[in-house]
Each structure stands twice: as structure tokens, then as C-alpha cells.
Structure 1
């Protein structure tokens, strides 16, 4: 059972704010679905104008046009808007440079990785690198003489810094090539200077610096080492998280813990976790980061919002906004539309920010819940000579004929993985996580009716999936850390959790193959892992429901991903071990046998096939259970004997060097299958 880890595409709190996978590919389809296509060409043309006002206007217009509008964004991409904006970063007019950076920042946020990759390939890092020392100089001057510096000038620099930092963080997750290039800029001192002066700077800019640090320290060892080795940096991060005083607003007035300040603290938790353990002499070396820092700061965030209430409020705000006549339309005869936002727009942004903070907290907690290492396979020396391979082939041949081996059942059953760690702290997370997996009316809109507010839909679906990933890791940890001293989990709790996960997946529905429904499919892919974890923790205590068994079997058959198939099989295995469910046990066992050679209707991928064979061994390892009658009367032993040759062949086909762990697992299952057959034959029943 694999752990859910932070995936590269999920690093950013906002991997794609306005998803466009539901749209047909190609510029022609984008043109057909865009209501602003007439404005595209004039904007691109005016970006090359000799008049700096027109160049500035065109940069601002790009930001206005792409807002919640993926079709228009695609049309602009087709006209090389990225290249044109990067050129404007070297413009002779400062205001044009500032607006170009803002437009590029918005394209990063709304467009996702494809646009970021395009920016990197078109050389955006060259002008960005020149901005770093200029921003640092201006920042130092403002901090030394903030009272004499014009407030408007400070605001411009802080917003420009925010835009540059945001672009850099988005580029950092585009590819390893981009990350390596950014490592050469030595951003850590620049970013930490914002955190060190957080009480004198706008919280939005400081938060962007923290976000960039969070991305840069995610399994990126040059940045990790630089932060770890500087005791002042780690002490600064620790002071943020141990302080009861939230970050001030830019003007120093008021200290309300708003969405941005809360996001800042969550990001600092993520950075601390990324760089831990911190070596002495830093004061952070004495702190248990997960127990003393991350959990106390992030547990309350999980209960920060009610998703159904938020969804309902967003729908009301959208209706209210639609009912208000639109103000000035974008026109070439006028300046770009005003940045003034209505109360409804501001409230929508506030709600989205809060949802994104919850999403970010879940991302960090997924790592906390995955602290248990994966079970290690036995160390084996690599065979470097072809003769060693031949020897193994000979062993396989011998195994085929040696079904009368003198192995006991104890020898076939792998030793249980245990850990001295007490997982009770993980259980306190389960209730709030279960609330966060339940979809709302805006979470998964059908293809035929796109979301009325795509950013909210994107955030909601990401929260559901993030909560499921946390639950997956929690139940995996509980299963693997099960010891005699572990807290006993009653069957009623298991049944409640089981039903809640199924309720969430039932709301998502099974129509996951249509364009734009990738999030639905991801819910099932992660959700079935949670089901396996829950079923494994409460193995034999969850009565199998006929409809749910059928859904799992159908998902297993339809899934193209071997990992999903394995999860389905693992879940079915646990359900089959409910002692009184004789009929369900028979249905599950016959389905598992249908995945084994030679009975399989088509070629079963190797890993799911091995999982099915292992499942059957576990289900029928105790002949005294009521459902064992199915094994005897159904002549399952004959079916297993007939499968040996196919299993051997599949194991032999696993590349020993490229798929080392799977090969070891395959050999173990093959040996167990032979021993199990011998054991059942020896029973004489």
C-alpha cells in the first residue's frame, strides 16, 4: 500500500487556478469559446508600440482578459504573448516593466505549468535575475528610512517584488532544469530578508517570499543545505511559528489574523518541515518539528472553514455579481478597466484565499502523516554476471516442480512490520479530514455545465483530494505500526469512517473519463487507497456490501493504472475476511481467481496479478473460518495449482535491475503460493 507523497504538480498551492482541461484542444476551439477574441490582436500590436502608454496599456489588458477565462488565455498564448511580455521586462519605461511583470505573474498563476515552461524556455530568468539586486537595494533604503520614502514608491516596489518572487516560485516547480537554474541565482538570502523584516513589510509580499522558500526547499538539497547551515535563518522561521503575534499589515495598523497572515504561518511550517532535521547549533535543532511546530499550528486550520457553507456563499456572491450591470468594457478607446473590485469580488477572493490556506495545510500534513518509512525489501546483492541470472532461472524451474516442499504456514506469512512510535496523535486528525473529503455543489461540476467560479472549484477539489491523501497515510501508518501497545480501534469507528469515505466517493460519481473530469478520477484513485487502509486496519470487522464489492471490482477491471488495480484488490481481500460473509467471500474470491492465469480473460498486469495471488493466500490461510467452505467446494486449490506456471512466467519477466522491488515481491508471492498449495494439500480437506 503506497503512501501519498507531495507530488511535483501539487507543490504549488495553486497549480492551475482556472483549469482548462474541459476545453477542446487547438486555437480554433479556443477562438470559438472566447468572448474577447476581437481584442487579442490589437493588444499584441500595441505591446510593440512606440508610445509607452500604449505598451503599458497592453500589459494591463492581458491581466484583465485572462481573468477566469482559459479560452482567451489560450488565444493570447497562440499570439506569443509570453515572448512579448518577456521583451517588455527590458523596456526603457519603468511602469511598462512593472505591468509586464504583473501580467506574467498572473499568467503563471492562472495558466499552470505549460505557460511556466514556455516562460523558462523563452529566457525569462535573464531579466528576472537583474531585478533581484535592485529590489534588495530599494528594500534596504525603505527599511532604513521608511518615514522619508514616499508611500506610493514603497507600494510599487513591494508589489513588483511580489510579482517577481511569484514568477520565480512558479518557475521553480516547472522542471528540474528550471530549478537548477534558479539555484544558481542564490535566492535564499534575498527571500529570508523579507521574513526577517516581516513586521515592516506588506504581508502579501512576505507570504510570497515564504511560498517561494517552501517550493525551493522541497527536496531541493542546495536550498535545504543553505537554510540549514544558517542558524539565523532557522531561528527566524522558528520565531514566526512560536510567536503569538501575527504579522502586521503593511501600515503597521491592526494585527488581525487574516487569510494572508495565516497562509504565511502555514508556509513557514512547510519550510521548517522541508529542512528538518536542523543541525546544531541552531535553536531549531532542539525542537520536534512535527509534534511541537507543525501539528499545533496546522490542526486548527483544518476546521477553519465549512466547505458546504463556503460553496453556498460563493454561489450567492456569483448571482449577486451577475445581477449588477457590468461597468466599463475593455475598449481600445479607453484605458484598461479599473482595478477597483466590487464587494462581491473581494469576498470571493477572501474565500478563495482561505480555501487555498486549508489546501496548503493539507499538503504539509500529508508529509507528516507519511513519516513512517516504506517497508524495506530484504537486501540482496546485485548479480553482475549472466551466470547468476541463469542460476535464478534454474531455481525457478525447480520451484515449478517442488509443490511438495516442507514449508509451514508460519514461514509463508511475512513478518509484521512494527514500530515503537505511538500513532495516537494521527487519530486526532481523522474527524476534521473526513469533513473535508465531502464534495459540495461546486466541487465537481459536470462537463456540460462548467463551474460558475472555476477558482473556487479548483480549490475545493484540491482540498478533497488533499484530505484523502492525509487519510491514506494515516491508515497506512496505523496498519504498519500496529503493536500490542497501540490504541485499540473499535469496529464502530471503523464502520463510520468506511461509510464516510464511501459517501464522498458516491457523491463524486463514476463518470470520470470525460474531459475536464480528471479531478473526479483522482478522487477515486486516492479514495480507493483510503478504503484499503481502513479495511486493513479493521480487517474482518467491516461487513462487505454487495454493491460496493461490485464497484470495486468494476473499478479494478476498468482502471488503466496498475496501482489503482492493486488498491482495489487489497480492499477486496480485507472485505472477504469478514467471517460471516460467505456469499460475498465467494464473489470476491472468484473475481480474484479471474485475474490469475490461465483463467484471466486478458493479460493481467504483473503487479495486480501478484496482489490477487497474495490476497487469496491471506483469505484462505485459516481453514477454520466459516467462509473456507468456498475454497473447498469451489475447488479453488485446483485453480491455484493451474496458475503456478503463469505466475512463474510473469515473475521471470520482471526486470531484476529496473524493477528490483517488484521482482523481490514477485519471488516472495511465487514462493508463498507454492508453499500455500502444499499446506492446503497437507490438510486433506
Structure 2
């Protein structure tokens, strides 16, 4: 049962990305589902026009056409729009390559990894590389003599820099090959210059640089080493995280303003590069305690998802239909800033959701890296306190794999149970806009994508929190059974709202199920024996275990069932769960249909459930002759464990050998009892 880690594939702060898996593949299907077919050919033609104004128009039109429209984006992609736009980056007209960069930036975000991979394969880095020294020179000129350039010109340059940096950011998480190529460009000094000059720059430009650095420092040693080797860089990052972010007045310092996102990104960078090198004495624990958690906790509570989507639905209803493409011409250039008050308000809500999503991602990493709590106590006010003298009286619980993240050497134990769990639980409950309709498009795709991502990240945070708490349970926490039942029920309320009817384009629902069952296991492990096994919940867990193709999901289901089986006063539920686990163990076929890892977990579960013969439900073990059934399967179990390749999966082999030995000792112990 491992802790959730940050995932590159989910780092999409801009909510423009529209899930399009429900759209059939191929140009014909894209053409049939797009309402803008007639606009495609003029764009392609004007992209190659001898008239610079028409080439500029074509670049701008691409951005307008693809907004929240996966079908049209695919249609344009099939016409090699990426190749045309990359060519335009070397255009003789300055305005053309500026608009081309903006269109490519939007395609990166809208199309995700697929389109980013296409850009990389078509060598987009070659023209982009030439822009870096030019932007550095212009930036130095602006900062040295800000009055020498008109404000409008500065605005264009800063927006262009933001677009180019965003492309670097998106490409960096496309593949290791793309990341390696960007590493070779040595962008750290270039990006850090924007952070160092944050007070004189638009907040959006500085934030783009911070986003790119956040990605480049995520388990990417070259950039980490480069920042850590320069004291000025780490000092700059610490100054930003400890201050109000920007002071130029161009940013918004409210709980949902761009300065908040900027600071959260910088806090994430600091976590990525920690521990900071000398002469800094700031440890990873200090960063979490003094910077990360104080910054993140208020953000989690700053949004009410139901209120946000209620307004969003009203605003969408009030909005008129989208502008007609026929109105676009080279004389009437499409402008992205012509928005209604409702559109501006929707943008504000989306931005707030993006900030919450980023907060959850950084928090997930923080919780994954927290040292496993040792000797934690909860006082009368539900505040966690340290007590190093407290005796260890709890058993070790199920033998689960929780050591995949090394625990830093630190005495820092944050009060994250009372302070983080309630707002995290509030963020996992689906709203009417959380999922698109099966095979269709949400009424507001960006909002839907952001909401679904928030639910998933909140569940990942809860997974890590309860794993950390469950590593070394303490009597006071375990005794708070009401809190355990509330969390347990909140998770199930969420899962019932998600449902099991998962259609095309609704992959977020399946992701929520897969992560939530891990949270259930974490909660069950802490409050084992206190959670009443509901028949419907047991049925759902067994069905998920049977239908999932992922052995890790099956392991989580089995672990959760194991916890439920240890409720002392429900003999029928205990028998039902035990029979199910034995059905996994007793299958004569080899390899076991359920998979080796689930088999090992089922064996461990049976041993753990019936390790105490004084429990009321032990009668099921005796009457069902479970010892004989375990003996009958022992030879097959030994063969399966022996069949695990030590070279390919040494951890599973060791785990299997340990459970095998425990099983043999358990059978011998039960036989000697003569019950």
C-alpha cells in the first residue's frame, strides 16, 4: 500500500484541456463531430499566404477555433497545423511568429502529451532555442531602462515570453527524451531571471517561469543541482516564499489571485530541491513547517465547490452562443480579450480551481515525504501532540508495503489530521459538473476537468495522510472511533455519487475509485475492528477486486476487506469475507487468476484476521475448517512464491517468502490449539 506520488500526466494547471477519449479516432470522425469544418481550409491557405497579415490572422484563428473544442483541434492536427505553426516561428514578420507561439502554446495545453510529442518530433525546440538569448537581452534592456520602450511593446514581449516558457514547461513533461533535450538548453538561469525580477514584471510572466521551474525540478537532477549550486537562486526562492510574492501592484494578492499561485509554485520548487545547500540551514522539515503548510492550508478552505459550480452553471446558461467563425477575416482579427462579465467571472472561478489543484499537488508530495508519525497523540481538542515517552501498545497491523518513500530524518509532526482532513474531505465530493456526460461534452469543459482533477488530488492527499498516521497507530487516535466512521462514510458517500456507470470520456470516475479504495484501506487500518462491515460495501469491494485488471487495486480491495472482517460482532460478514479470500487462495490453477500480489495479500489477510482465537468470529475459522483448506493450498502457494523472479521483483519475492513463512507458522499454531 504505497503513498501517492506527483504524476507528470496530471500536472495541467490550465484547465483548457478537454478530455476527448470519447471521440472516435481518425479525420473522418473528427470532421463529423466538428462544427467548424469550413473554417479549416481558409486557415491552412492563409497560413501559407504571401501576405503577412493573413498569416498572422491564421495563427490567431487557430487559438480561437480549438478553445474547448477537441474535435476541431484533432481536425487541425490532421491537417498538420503543428508543422505549419512551427514553420511560422521562423517567419520574416515579427507579429506572425509572436502569434504562432501563442497558438502553439494553446495547442500544448489543449492537446496534452500527444500534441506535445508531435511538436517535439517536429523539432520545435530549434526555433524556440533562438528566442531565449533574444528575450534575455530585451528583458535586461527593459529592466535597466523601462522608459525606453512603449508599454504596449513591453506587454507584447512579456506575453511572448510567457507563451514560449509555457511551451518549454509542457514539453518538459512529455517524455524523458524531451526533458533531456530541454536540460541541454540550460534554461535555469533564464527562468530564474524572471523570478529575480518579479517586482518589475507582469505576474503572469513570472508565474510561467515558476511553473516551468517547478516541472524541471520535479525529480530532475540536472536542474536541481544547478539551483542548489547557486546560493543566489535558493535565497531568491526563499525570499519569495516568505514574502508577499510580487510587489509591483500588477498581481492580485487575494486568496485566489495570481500571486498566490506564484508563491505556491515557488514553495513547490523549494520542496523539490530541498534540502538546501550550505550556508542555508533550512531543512526539508522547516520548509514544510514554516512555508508549505501555512501557505496551503488556507487555500484548501478558500473554495466551496458547490457554490462555484452553481454560479458557473448560471453563467453558462446566460452566455450566448459562441461567435460565428464566418465573422473572422483578415480585417476583423479575432481578439481573445473580448469577454462578457460572465466570461470574466468564469475565468476567475477557473483560476481559483487551478490554485486549489496546484495546492493539492504540492500537498500530496508533502504528505508522501512526511516522516511516518511516531508516538503521536491527540489531545482533548483533537490536536496532535508529541509524546516521546509514550509506550508503544498497539500491534503492527497488517504487513503492508509502506516503505516505498524514504522517511526524512526529522522530528516534524504537523497537526495535519484535524487541520487538513476536513477540507480534503470537502473537496472529494462530486458536483453536477465534475464529470462530462458519457460520450459527450460538458457544458463547461475547463471547469469539469479542473473539478475532476481536484477530486483525484484530494483523494491522493488523504491516501498519504492516513498511510502516515496508520504506520504507527496510537491509542488515543484509535479510540476516536467516531472520527474514523465519519471519514469512512464520507468516502463511501463520494463513491456512491461517482457510481459504477463509467462511459467513454469519464475516466476520472475510474481514477477516483482506484484511489479511494486505497484511502479506505488506510482508514480501515487505523480503525480496524471499529468499522461495521456493510453488506453492500463488501459486495462492491469484492466486485471491484474481481473486475480490476490492476493487481495493486486488487491488493487494496483485499486489504480493506481484511480490516472490515475484524469487526468483532458481525459473524456473517466475517464469514463472507473469509470465504472470498479463501476462494482467491484455493484456486488450483497456477498462476493464480487473481495474480501473485493479490494472492500474497489474501494469505496475509487470513493470517491476520484469525491470529487471535479469542475473537467471537473465530468460530467461522473452526466451523469452516479453514486450516485444512490452507494446508490444501500450501504447495501451490509455495510454487507461486518460488516463481517470482528475484531479479525483476525482489520486493515481491521477499514479501511472498515472508507471508509463506507466516502461513506455515500460522497453520502449525492453529493445529496445536486443538480447538
TM-score (normalised: structure 1): 0.90
- Alpha carbons of 1:423 and 1:633: their partners in 2 closer, same or farther (altered >3 Å)? farther
- Measured against aligned partners, the alpha-carbon deviations of 1:103-123 in whole angstroms (never above 9, x if no partner) come to 000001111000000000000
Partner of 2:301: 303
Partner of 1:30: 30
Partner of 1:671: 661
Name stretches of at least 5 consecutive residues in structure 2 with no aligned partner. 374-394
- Alpha carbons of 1:617 and 1:506: their partners in 2 closer, same or farther (altered >3 Å)? same
- In structure 2, C-alpha distance between the alignment counterparts of 1:76 and 1:247, rounded to whole Å: 41
Within the candidate set 334, 339, 347, 1:337 is matched to: 334
Partner of 1:529: 518
Is 1:267 the equivalent of 2:257? Answer: no
Q: CA deviation at 1:248?
A: 3.0
- In structure 1, C-alpha distance between the alignment counterparts of 2:47 and 2:145, rounded to whole Å: 36
Partner of 2:9: 9
For this pair of structures, how many residues does the alignment match?
646
Between 1:142-151 and 1:288-297, the stretch displaced more is 142-151
- Alpha carbons of 1:325 and 1:271: their partners in 2 closer, same or farther (altered >3 Å)? closer
Q: CA deviation at 1:18?
A: 1.3
CA contact (8 A) 1:12 1:173 kept: no
CA contact (8 A) 2:15 2:350 kept: no
Within the candidate set 503, 507, 513, 1:518 is matched to: 507
Name stretches of at least 5 consecutive residues in structure 1 with no aligned partner. 376-409
- In structure 1, C-alpha distance between the alignment counterparts of 2:642 and 2:491, rounded to whole Å: 38
- Alpha carbons of 1:199 and 1:172: their partners in 2 closer, same or farther (altered >3 Å)? same
Q: CA deviation at 1:597?
A: 3.0
Q: CA deviation at 1:148?
A: 2.9
- Measured against aligned partners, the alpha-carbon deviations of 1:236-281 in whole angstroms (never above 9, x if no partner) come to 111111114644344x8x8656521111011011101000100111
- In structure 2, C-alpha distance between the alignment counterparts of 1:415 and 1:518, rounded to whole Å: 28
SS at match of 1:442: coil
CA contact (8 A) 1:31 1:75 kept: yes
- Measured against aligned partners, the alpha-carbon deviations of 1:574-605 in whole angstroms (never above 9, x if no partner) come to 00000111110000000111111336797220
- Measured against aligned partners, the alpha-carbon deviations of 1:455-488 in whole angstroms (never above 9, x if no partner) come to 100000000000000000000000113357x755
Partner of 1:292: 290
CA contact (8 A) 1:195 1:209 kept: yes
CA contact (8 A) 1:192 1:233 kept: yes
- Alpha carbons of 1:472 and 1:434: their partners in 2 closer, same or farther (altered >3 Å)? same
- Alpha carbons of 1:373 and 1:660: their partners in 2 closer, same or farther (altered >3 Å)? farther
- Alpha carbons of 1:195 and 1:333: their partners in 2 closer, same or farther (altered >3 Å)? closer
Within the candidate set 627, 632, 636, 1:642 is matched to: 632
SS at match of 1:569: helix
Partner of 2:533: 544
Q: CA deviation at 1:147?
A: 2.1
SS at match of 2:147: coil
Within the candidate set 431, 434, 437, 1:443 is matched to: 434
- Alpha carbons of 1:133 and 1:413: their partners in 2 closer, same or farther (altered >3 Å)? closer
Within the candidate set 315, 318, 327, 2:316 is matched to: 318
Between 1:462-471 and 1:255-264, the stretch displaced more is 255-264
- Alpha carbons of 1:221 and 1:571: their partners in 2 closer, same or farther (altered >3 Å)? same
Q: CA RMSD in A?
A: 2.4
Partner of 1:568: 557
CA contact (8 A) 1:235 1:284 kept: no
- In structure 1, C-alpha distance between the alignment counterparts of 2:173 and 2:428, rounded to whole Å: 26
CA contact (8 A) 1:562 1:605 kept: yes
- In structure 1, C-alpha distance between the alignment counterparts of 2:543 and 2:245, rounded to whole Å: 53
- In structure 2, C-alpha distance between the alignment counterparts of 1:65 and 1:53, rounded to whole Å: 18
Partner of 1:357: 355
Q: CA deviation at 1:131?
A: 0.3
Is 1:681 the equivalent of 2:671? Answer: yes
TM-score (normalised: structure 2): 0.92
- In structure 2, C-alpha distance between the alignment counterparts of 1:599 and 1:551, rounded to whole Å: 25
CA contact (8 A) 2:228 2:277 kept: yes
CA contact (8 A) 1:16 1:112 kept: no
Within the candidate set 492, 502, 507, 2:497 is matched to: 507
Between 1:3-12 and 1:179-188, the stretch displaced more is 3-12
Within the candidate set 465, 480, 487, 1:490 is matched to: 480
Is 1:607 the equivalent of 2:597? Answer: yes
CA contact (8 A) 1:47 1:84 kept: yes
The within-5 A match list for 1:50-199 is 50-199=50-199
- Alpha carbons of 1:84 and 1:412: their partners in 2 closer, same or farther (altered >3 Å)? closer
